[in-house]
Structure 1
């Protein structure tokens, strides 16, 4: 039977292996996305690649497919030697990437063995799983170092290194771990950087690591932009939970991902929703891995209607057909705004992203709008008309809203104090 993914069958030279094409066919992939079309040929040629594209653009397949092809047939030895290493910032992204690679590899004559390792769970089962070796390891940096310290695996023979969501790796404080891991890798290897954004710290890291890289930057085009309706609702801070409940009920939202600033807020909001018979669960970094996995499974199965999450969920969670994302608390970073709302409107579907804007956060939201060159009209929901006025913040007279990169530094404060004494 001819494949239903002819776009992949004829897109690349050398062509993808028949086993990979069969897996793509089974998954319903018909043709490559822009990032895949640009990156896969270069990776197959052995080039270093810097790939930048929006969330949901197919970055995982862009590096997973050529990695599987490059490493195919090298697994004959036992124990297997790790030749592919993928570093990710979160447990959820590790699981998602590892599962995707496994699904792509299932029809290869000798499928690559993929190990998925992350912290927050016992290290012993992961050490046992690595006894037979692994061709590809998907890991969070901290747990990888723990396993290296236990001599559970070696990365001395890695041929391909991927930093997935590279900006988040540094943003979450993995800089020291990355430096230690990079020092243990062979100097001669293929390096692939993939992320939705590339701030200066990542650009500097890439410049020091990559050799004559191909830069693949897929800019959103009007016809290719995610179909996300952005809404901003003015509401007093103290009435956000009531408004959230009202919107869930009146707009008949079947599944909602709600972002809050702290684990305490996640617990409180979820508890208040449960008291009015809305199935809601908190999701944050201090939950056990078992609990986090169960929450996501229940959310995907639609037995949980609302998940209240901190930014640990902003990346690496892929919920198909998620209709609504709510910014209960605004993200501190304008970049995180993109990643939050990118949880909806994926794979060609439409979605809604709602931000609650109080008098105290209006200046912050205006900065997010400015950074993204957009303007979202403020709505007022009947019965929830705001009455609060913006407080005067002596520490933030410019109205930056505390957004990253806009707070005065210690040197700025010292200069200001010196100027005041002059």
Structure 2
């Protein structure tokens, strides 16, 4: 899946590189009709999820999905037993679907089993009532979860942690696309920069919550969400979690979800600090965790060229940047700055020089950040200057 799914199906410009995680590389148009999603069926996924994948235009799992999904579902020799996983794979290789699909599959199965049990219990009670000559018992009336009087603490069965709100929103949108054929399965997104009341309303009856650690703990401390029923914990981009200082928050969330069945950690590398984090949050101190590494960290993308240029001083560096940005073959570019002040200053300077440029950093409001990202996706902005 690409980031265009976040914008309600709006396609990205043809000349814009899509950077978000995907399910799989789309199959060529001429072969799509002849190729059903045998790969996802072979993995044993629920039919509702296979249909959602088919709707998105994908037929075969990527390498990381092919390896991780059966392990995460407890298939093969480990049938029925959930194991902890540490997964490392390239950006764009489909890691998001590699953890969403197995978690959603198990939630779908558990929901079906609960409904079957409730149905059997109702039929038994109805039969007993009929034997006594009484009217059958009525089914419990479903409450409207959006009414304030029915608000209660959410008790999700699965929790996915992301280091940034943009990534959490992307993962949540991807999850929503995957459950569109799954009746009654609810996804909630909990991130900073959004109104509390809106998020509390969306948390009602949520089965899977995608969150950033800070806002999640805020809502937990105010008793809007309980984490003691979480069965599956996924830590996405664990290396960035540590870079952004979330180690203590992860330790607290680990304690709050101590009864979970499975922990999955996805990271760009298996660096020593990531292994130390895994020992803190995995079962048995990480002794039984299984590692999956699809690509080595040194393996570069075939479509990316990296070049280093030396500059004599700041003035020389700015002249080089101006030279590159005036290249007529460049439709869009992202320029990274080290500080928010430098980011704003460079964006303003580029605007003065006639470029269509905007700044993006953490001090801006969430609404403004969203609008600027949308403008970039729509091709209305040529240069994004970001921290």
User: Quick check: 1:62 aligned with 2:98?
Assistant: yes
- Using the TM superposition, give the Cα deviation of residue 251 of structure 1 relative to its aligned residue in structure 2, in angstroms: 4.1
User: Quick check: 1:167 aligned with 2:239?
Assistant: yes
Match of 1:48 in 2: 84
User: Quick check: 1:141 aligned with 2:213?
Assistant: yes
Using a 3 Å threshold, how does the CA distance of structure 1 residues 232 and 111 change in structure 2: closer, same or farther?
farther
Q: Distance in 1 between matches of 2:298 and 2:190?
A: 38
Please give the per-residue CA displacement for 1:259-278, whole angstroms capped at 9, x wherever unaligned: 11011111111111111221
1:281 pairs with one of 317, 337, 358: 358
Please give the per-residue CA displacement for 1:113-137, whole angstroms capped at 9, x wherever unaligned: 111111123323212322x221111
Match of 2:174 in 1: 100
1:15-414 pair list within 5 angstroms: 15-45=44-74, 46-75=82-111, 81-108=155-182, 110-130=183-203, 132-211=204-283, 212-220=288-296, 225-236=301-312, 237-310=314-387
Give 5+ residue unaligned stretches, structure 2: 1-31, 75-81, 116-141, 146-153
- Using the TM superposition, give the Cα deviation of residue 19 of structure 1 relative to its aligned residue in structure 2, in angstroms: 1.8
Could you say which structure has the higher strand fraction?
A: 1
The two structures have a TM-score, normalised by structure 1, of: 0.68
- Which stretch has the larger CA shift, 77-86 or 224-233? 77-86
Q: Distance in 2 between matches of 1:289 and 1:129?
A: 18
Q: Distance in 1 between matches of 2:355 and 2:176?
A: 35
Using a 3 Å threshold, how does the CA distance of structure 1 residues 210 and 226 change in structure 2: closer, same or farther?
farther
Asked whether the equivalents of residues 40 and 59 of structure 2 are also in contact (C-alpha less than 8 Å), the reply is no
What secondary structure does 2:72 align onto? helix
Using a 3 Å threshold, how does the CA distance of structure 1 residues 4 and 295 change in structure 2: closer, same or farther?
farther
Q: Distance in 2 between matches of 1:289 and 1:196?
A: 26
What secondary structure does 1:229 align onto? coil
The two structures have a TM-score, normalised by structure 2, of: 0.74
The two structures, once aligned, show a CA RMSD in angstroms of: 2.3
What secondary structure does 2:321 align onto? helix
Asked whether the equivalents of residues 8 and 21 of structure 1 are also in contact (C-alpha less than 8 Å), the reply is no
- Using the TM superposition, give the Cα deviation of residue 222 of structure 1 relative to its aligned residue in structure 2, in angstroms: 11
What secondary structure does 2:306 align onto? strand
Asked whether the equivalents of residues 118 and 139 of structure 1 are also in contact (C-alpha less than 8 Å), the reply is yes
Asked whether the equivalents of residues 41 and 50 of structure 2 are also in contact (C-alpha less than 8 Å), the reply is no
Give 5+ residue unaligned stretches, structure 1: 311-422
- Using the TM superposition, give the Cα deviation of residue 301 of structure 1 relative to its aligned residue in structure 2, in angstroms: 0.8
Asked whether the equivalents of residues 158 and 231 of structure 2 are also in contact (C-alpha less than 8 Å), the reply is yes
Aligned residues between the structures: 306
